[in-house]
Amino acid sequence: AQKITQTQPGMFVQEKEAVTLDCTYDTSDPSYGLFWYKQPSSGEMIFLIYQGSYDQQNATEGRYSLNFQKARKSANLVISTSQLGDSAMYFCAIEGTDSWGKLQFGAGTQVVVTP
Amino acid sequence: KAGVTQTPRYLIKTRGQQVTLSCSPISGHRSVSWYQQTPGQGLQFLFEYFSETQRNKGNFPGRFSGRQFSNSRSEMNVSTLELGDSALYLCASSLETGSNQETQYFGPGTRLLVL
């Protein structure tokens, strides 16, 4: 079984500043994947970034990067240079070995970017 | 390439009725997963289908069922609706090449309100 913990229910961020969203996980699977999704108020879940448990380097996708610390079981999302359009709910999720399409999500972090 | 589509987008039903939601995956994607999102329980996995077979199922009562067609389109059905079934139902598709932890891409969701 997998578990994701996101301890920050919400945060305000100034436009153009960087923000770090915390995510810790628990799994006994030797191989797993960590995902971050963004959910604007419209409801659609937008894929942001993926980190495989055996990846040696931290994943990056444009303004998004993942600070992956395997020993600490943490996979924090860093958004550089925040934009007003980044205001949304952010979810961390994990999929374990042979999970067959089952993502286990955290409770999410609400981010509000202010001008 | 078109994204995941879900129909209908909004639905209002009364207790005791049944409902069928539809999901068309991204072209070429063969795996479809369904999730329920509520304010109280967050995002919960319902089931996953691949090649018309249910490979994984979450902890939901038998009133929740689904199926997948040969063109990978999927439907989920909820019978004998209860007030607590009011939720955003999200469908996601992935390529499914046989490797673990493939990225799931979500549709816009169906908002179901049960009165």
User: B43-72: per-residue pLDDT in tens?
Assistant: 999 999 999 999 999 999 999 999 999 999
Q: Which residue of B has its CA nearest to A49?
A: B103
B101/A46 CB distance under 8 A: no
Query: 3-state class of B52 per DSSP?
Result: coil
Q: How confident is the model at residue A21 (pLDDT cuts 50, 70, 90)?
A: very high
Q: Given this model, what pLDDT does residue A48 score?
A: 98
Examine the pLDDT at B98 and tell me if it is beyond 80. no
CB contact under 8 A, A50 and B31: no
| pLDDT at residue B1 is higher than 80 | no
Q: How confident is the model at residue B14 (pLDDT cuts 50, 70, 90)?
A: very high
Q: What is the mean pLDDT of residues B33-45?
A: 96
pLDDT band at B99 (very low <50, low <70, confident <90, very high): low
pLDDT value of residue A63: 97
Residue pLDDT, tens place only, A43-62: 999 999 999 999 989 999 99
For the cut 70, the answer to whether the pLDDT of residue B100 exceeds it is: no
Question: Which residue of A6, A25, A66, A102 is the best one to mutate when testing the B interface, meaning the one whose CB has the most B CBs within 10 A?
Answer: A102
Answer yes or no: are the C-beta atoms of B95 and B32 closer than 8 Å: no
pLDDT in tens, A97-112: 878 889 999 999 999 9
User: Which run of H or E residues covers position A79?
Assistant: strand A74-79
- How far apart CA B13 and CA B21 sit, in angstroms, is 12
Chain A's closest residue to B32, CA to CA, is A101
What is the average pLDDT score of chain A? 95
**pLDDT category, B41, cuts 50, 70, 90?**
very high
In angstroms, how far apart are the furthest CA atoms of chain B? 42
- Is the backbone of residue A7 left (phi > 0), alpha (psi -120 to 50) or beta? alpha
What pLDDT sits at residue B2? 85
Give the per-residue pLDDT at B12: 98
Closest residue of chain B to A89, computed from CA coordinates? B42
SS3 state at B84: helix
Phi and psi (nearest 5°) for B44?
-125, 135
Interval B72-77 mean pLDDT = 98
Do the chains contact at A43 and B108, CB–CB below 8 Å? yes
Minimum-distance CB partner of A47 among B50, B105, B109: B105
Q: Which of A44, A100, A104 sits opposite B106 (nearest CB)?
A: A44
Interface test with A, best of B100, B105, B110 (most A CBs within 10 A): B100
CA pair distance B46, B18, nearest whole angstrom: 17
Question: Closest partner residue to A50 among B32, B103, B109, by Cβ?
Answer: B103
CB pairs under 8 A between A and B: 70
